[in-house]
Structures are given as structure tokens and as C-alpha cells.
Chains A and B, each alone.
Chain A
């Protein structure tokens, strides 16, 4: 059955269908054809094809039986490294089917594991190296401990260029009988920041309203998916109403389940739109950076964001 979710429907299934990442694809393809792949580490931004390439590898290796020989895990979803190890253990217990002497385990977002957890992962990789190959994916390879890096062939995925994303959009547009204005492509690309999966989701979201993909419609959809009320929070703070700002902030974090770090990103961008003197903008930006640092170091993003709002209140009073 063909999926109606476009990220699935149009997901490349052959090496030749991959967009961008030419160098990576060529090398991975030749490793796969030799039937002897090492552990792999895919590093690169979201939506550049890491999971897709992993799927292509297993489909190429195992053909129709790929599901029996492939385990997909997401490090940021599993409750701790022990769950990961347990699942790996169960999966690795049976031998692979067919003529490939190993099974494949894909561990997405491996950089979500703490260094200690990664040490445990390293031992697991060693224990099962006779029967399993690991493909790890991460945003930054620097967040992966050296012993794991040295056991893997590392592949770096680039952010997709505009022409690559355009190709994808065009193909979907033709197939789904959409009319897409050239500017809409531009906006979709900007709005998805080079993340192809997000771009396709935005396109499908827009198309669920109308098959005519106008720039206005796309912009509306994009602004609907962004943390909306960050400006409202800052406005309350600047006008001196700390308690309202705090309540609204909490509301956003709760109802839209937006993480502290995503909110910080939005606040940092919004500083340029609030009516304060240039030197105060600089000060607030520095404060925002400090807050981002403390969110990573600290335990409770909401506490840190409140502290930042207190600085906005002060900025609104024209003092520093």
C-alpha cells in the first residue's frame, strides 16, 4: 500500500533517487554493494536524508525481508540506555535471514545520549559486532564520544540546497496536481530552513486547505506552526506586567509543548521587533544567550525563561 503521507510516499527508495548528498551516497552505495558495511555514523542537520539513506541501505541489503532485519530506535524517545540495550539484545538474539551475515540497527538522535550512556552503547556495539551493524545518526558528530567515532565510518550530510528542494517540490506538485507559484517554493524553502521533511509536511499541510499553493497561503500555514505568542509574552514584559508575561509563557510551553530551547530561539529573533533602544537590544541579546547557556546547564527551563523576562521588564522601564 502506498502511503498518503507525502514524506513516506515520496521518500527515495533507491540510491539513485537521493537528492543532494552526492558524495555520501556514492560511498555508502559501494560499501553496501560489497555486502560488508562497517558501523556508520551519519552526522548532519534534520531533514537531509539520514534516516532515508539508512532505509535504502537495508532495503538494498535484504530486499522484501528488510523489516525482519532492521531495528529502528530513537535515542531521545527511549527511556535511558538500558532500554536501548534491552531492545538491541532481543533483536540480536536471532540470526539474520538470507545471505547477509548481519542485521542492521539504526539509532536516531544518538547525540541525545549522555557521554556515560554512550560508553554503555559502545560496549553494546562491541558485544554484538559479529551479528549486528549499527547506523547512528546525530546532528553534531562532536557530541558523540571519540571511542564511538573511531569505530564508525563517518558521513557528513549537508544542508539541502535550494535547487534540491525545488526538485522535490516540483515532483510532488506534478504528481498531486497542485499549482505552485514560484514564490511559494521560495517561501517553503525559507520556512523549512533546508529541512526537506519539514518542507514536504508544510506543502501537504497547505495542500490540505487548497490545491492552489499561493504564497499567502503558505505564509499563513508557516506562521501557524511557529511559536505564536512569543511576541505577546515580550510585550507584556516590556509594558511592565511581569505576572501576565509569566502566565502566558507558561501557557505556551504547556499547551503547545514547545521546548525551552525553541522558545529561546524565537525570543532571540523577536528582540529586533520590540521598541527599545539599540544598545538595550544588544544587552537583551546577550542576556538571551546567557539564558540559553543556563537552560543547558540548569534543570528547569521555565525558571530560566522567567529570569530572562525579568530583564525584559527592566528594559521596558528604560533602565538597565
Chain B
């Protein structure tokens, strides 16, 4: 049996490092139905689902768990929930509805989101929603309705204490330094730490557990965390090799998230590093001289990291860069503007780019219907002029 299951906390005092979340969520239950739902959000392995079960245990409630992917199947959802929502439980007095992986509801799954909102409105019992990242725009209505409970990354010392108590109960011994290593490496993820400890205890040379993640693919969020939060080390120079993403994309992620981490002097330094990286990127493209990539990489990793003073704490909800998408969407919207500028440009012997830049004044000239006829503007183009 996995230790994470075996030692999953049942009571409040067993769930370590989340005092704030515990008291917030207890208040929520005490005040129910002032708000009908609360959201547990935070990085993996901080105890979100566990806290839901602990609350159920401590308040003698029955947990009714549904996965966000079930929301799409309206029939199934109704069938599962309906009796529970309206009747009292036979076994237990109270119920808690737990919806897991809410951030798994995709952008295109409006139905699922609407169904979830309906579910909350009609629920007779508290609804707990669990998500890693709930800050996308599409979740705004959910956030407004719900009590927000943040689960923070667990401090490595707390993780270490928990690891020690697990070892004691297993009657095992692990070297103190290795315990610290495992706790630090987990970066706030209690579940990962306990899993690592269990694996290490079965290994011939347990210390190998620490260099395990060399070959592992790092996801971009972890990479950002390393760069933005930790002290700059030379290992950062190889960091992006293990991120499965082209350098141009990584640059956009960095750009999007610098202002979330750095302020003032740090902000300026980090942007200076980014700006220099972009200059090398430009030189790579223009001169097709790929060795410049070395400098782009160093500036984007070590350079960004060294822009801060000390280290950063806490959890940051890194945002996905959407600039390219926005540009694309804007291009779709301004396609008509472009075609008008093109016609005008060809007619008066100037370049299209200049016509685009001077569009405000051109638009005024096009107020004259005769000129619109002269340029043979199409209906859609005339409509564009009318509506802008």
C-alpha cells in the first residue's frame, strides 16, 4: 500500500502546514449556506482533496465525489446527484459534494461549466471544488460565487517533520541529510516527498533518489518556478533542455510572468536580460548564426534568475502567454481594415504599411461616399467603416 494512502491525514491536527486553509474552510461550513461553494486551489500535493475528506470526517459528513469530466454527461450527473441533493443520507447526517479537477474543464466546454454553476445553485449541501489553477477568465463566475481557500506549498521543514513521523511508524531509518534533500526537492509537494521517501527506502542506495529527476521532463511551470524563485545556479543553464518547448515559446512564458514575480529594480533588471535575449534572437534570425542561441539561453535562465535579490517564496499562478493568440484574433478582426488600406494604397501609389499607419485619416477621407465607390469598396468593407 502506498504510504501516501496509508498515512493520509484524517483529522485536522494530522494535516500539517495548512492551518490557514483549515480555519477558513471550517468557517465556511459553519456559515453555510451563506456561500454554497468553496474552491481549494494550489499546487499539486498540498492536500486539497485530503482537506475535503478531513472536513467530512470531522463533521461526520458523507463525501459525494464527482469528477469534472462527468459534468459533460448531463444524464449521468443528474442520476448520480439528484437523490443525494434532495434526500437525506441514510447513513450519515450530512453530505459534502466534492468536484475534483475543476481546471480540467476546457475552454470549449461551456456546457460543463454551466452545469457546474447550476449544480452549486441547486445544491442543498456544501460544494467543494478542487483545482490547481483557477485564475483563468472562464472561471470568474465560479470564483465570484465561492469562498476562495488557498493551499500553499508546504515548507520543507514541515515536510521533513512529516517524513520523520512516517519513518518512525514504519520503523525505518533514513539519513538526516537525505531527508532534508527529499524535502527540499519536493518543492512544497507533500505527496511527492512521501512517494520519494517510500521509493528511497526500498533502494539499495537511497541517495540516488535525489538525482532521479535529471532525466525527467520538467514542465514549464516548474521551470519558471526554478528560474523565478530559487537562487541562480549553473544548473539553470541546462534547465530549458529538459523543457519540451521551443526557445521562442519559453521566451514568451518568461515575458508573460516576469511582472508577476518581480517589482521595481528586479523588474527592470529582468526585462533588461529579456531584452538582450531578444536582441540575440534577432541576430540569430537575421544572420542565421545559431551559436547566438547560447547567449539567448543564458540570459533567459541565469540572467532572469539573477535579477532578483535573494529568493522568492509562496505560490505564484503562472499565466500562459496569450499574446500570439490575441494578435491572431486581432488580425481576423482587422482583415477588413487591411483590405480597405490595400485598395487605398494601390490607388494612391503608397505602400500598404504606410496606409495602415495613416488609417485614422484615411477613414475620414472615406466618409465621402463617392470615394468609397471610386475605390470599389465591397459591402463588408463599407460595413466595417460604418461600425468603427
Contacts and interface: CB of A to CB of B under 8 A. Distances in A.
Contacts of A76: 351-353
Could you say which interface size class chain B belongs to? 35 or more
Interface in B346-388: 347-354, 356-362, 364-365, 367-368, 370-371, 374
B203 interface: no
A311 B270 CA distance: 11
Contacts of B81: none
Nearest to B351: A74
A51 B350 CA distance: 8
Interface in A31-54: 46, 51
B318 to A, nearest CB: 14
B187 to A, nearest CB: 26
A300 B281 contact: yes
Interface residues of A, number: 56
Interface in A223-272: 224-225, 242-243, 246, 250, 254-259, 262
**Which of A46, A109, A297, A298 has the most chain B CB atoms closer than 10 A to its own CB?**
A298
A224 B362 CA distance: 12
Nearest to A243: B259
A259 B357 contact: yes
A255 B326 CA distance: 11
Nearest to B356: A257
Contact of B358 (A221, A225, A291, A317): A225
B361 A201 contact: yes
Contacts of B282: 297-300
Interface in A272-294: 291, 294
B84 interface: no
Given A7-B348, A8-B347, A76-B351, A310 B271 contact: yes
Contacts of A302: 323
A109 B367 CA distance: 29
Nearest to B371: A4
B271 A205 contact: no
B272 interface: yes
Given A77-B353, A310-B267, A311-B268, A300 B364 contact: no
A3 interface: yes
Contacts of A51: 349-350
A29 interface: no
Contact of A205 (B267, B330, B361): B361
B274 A303 contact: yes
A299 B278 contact: yes
A55 B349 contact: yes
A255 B361 contact: no
B1 interface: no
B259 A258 contact: no
Given A51-B349, A298-B282, A313 B365 contact: no
Nearest to A293: B279
Interface in B99-154: none
B330 A307 contact: no
B362 A255 contact: no
B361 A225 contact: yes
B26 interface: no
Interface in B287-339: 323, 326-327, 330, 334, 337
A246 B278 CA distance: 17
B348 A108 contact: no
A205 B360 CA distance: 9
B364 A205 contact: yes
B74 interface: no
B130 to A, nearest CB: 28
A304 interface: yes
11 contacts: A5-B344, A51-B349, A76-B352, A208-B367, A208-B368, A256-B359, A257-B337, A294-B275, A306-B271, A307-B268, A314-B265
Interface of A: 1, 3-5, 7-8, 46, 51, 55, 72, 74, 76-77, 108-109, 114, 197-198, 201-202, 204-205, 208-209, 221, 224-225, 242-243, 246, 250, 254-259, 262, 291, 294, 297-300, 302-304, 306-307, 309-311, 313-314, 317, 319
Interface of B: 251, 255, 259, 263-265, 267-268, 270-272, 274-276, 278-279, 281-283, 285-286, 323, 326-327, 330, 334, 337, 344-345, 347-354, 356-362, 364-365, 367-368, 370-371, 374
